Chain A
Amino acid sequence: GENVEQHPSTLSVQEGDSAVIKCTYSDSASNYFPWYKQELGKRPQLIIDIRSNVGEKKDQRIAVTLNKTAKHFSLHITETQPEDSAVYFCAARHTGFQKLVFGTGTRLLVSP
């Protein structure tokens, strides 16, 4: 089955810096890669996603890149702000299934 690895587990940056979180997946048949943000005590919220027919997608300060050959995808946050502090989860969906397999999460701390 699919396995998703996520790095780093924690990431501390200064406000205004960029943050990059990386994930690798094992199954080349996976075709959908969402990123979720989870604030303390809250639900995971979908912030951006990318499909396997696209290499990059951007939405204001966040972007996701996908390298299908290497089977990895990354979340990029530019001009980080304290409210970006949260746990970020990547996930992958296999073509033949509905379910998502999640990474272990990255705790991002943005210091003012």
Chain B
Amino acid sequence: DARVTQTPRHKVTEMGQEVTMRCQPILGHNTVFWYRQTMMQGLELLAYFRNRAPLDDSGMPKDRFSAEMPDATLATLKIQPSEPRDSAVYFCASGLVLPPLAGPSYEQYFGPGTRLTVT
């Protein structure tokens, strides 16, 4: 049963420190999404990639957040410097977008999340 994996599962850090979260999408999936979940804002899309290229990062605070896909098996989300308001659960999700002739595929599968606490 293929699953998206994320590390670390929990992270506690002090304000001002750099935080790096990692995601391994399901093998063969070509689309990766980063979401942030808080009680107040629900599930917010931060950024997403297709075939490792960033398609949309409009949901991400550009001054402190960055997202990359160094290769097809690894996506990273960095926060530098971190702030208390960044405390949340960060989910990665992956999906497979097929060429039109192969039929559309829209499903997204979530990883277990990284619970970040910034003190």
Chain A residues packing against B (C-beta within 8 Å): 32, 34, 36, 42-46, 49, 51, 89, 93, 97-105
A93 near B106: Cβ-Cβ < 8 Å: yes
The total of Cβ contacts below 8 Å across the A-B interface reads 48
Q: Mark B83-119, 1 if CB is under 8 A from A, else 0.
A: 0000000010001010000001011111111000000
Q: Mark B48-66, 1 if CB is under 8 A from A, else 0.
A: 1010000110000000000
Return the contact of B107 from the options A43, A46, A89 (Cβ within 8 A): A46
Q: Which residues of A contact B31 (CB under 8 A)?
A: 98
Chain B residues packing against A (C-beta within 8 Å): 31, 33, 42-43, 45, 48, 50, 55-56, 91, 95, 97, 104, 106-113
Q: With A34-B107, A98-B50 as known contacts, state yes or no: A43 contacts B113, CB within 8 Å.
A: yes
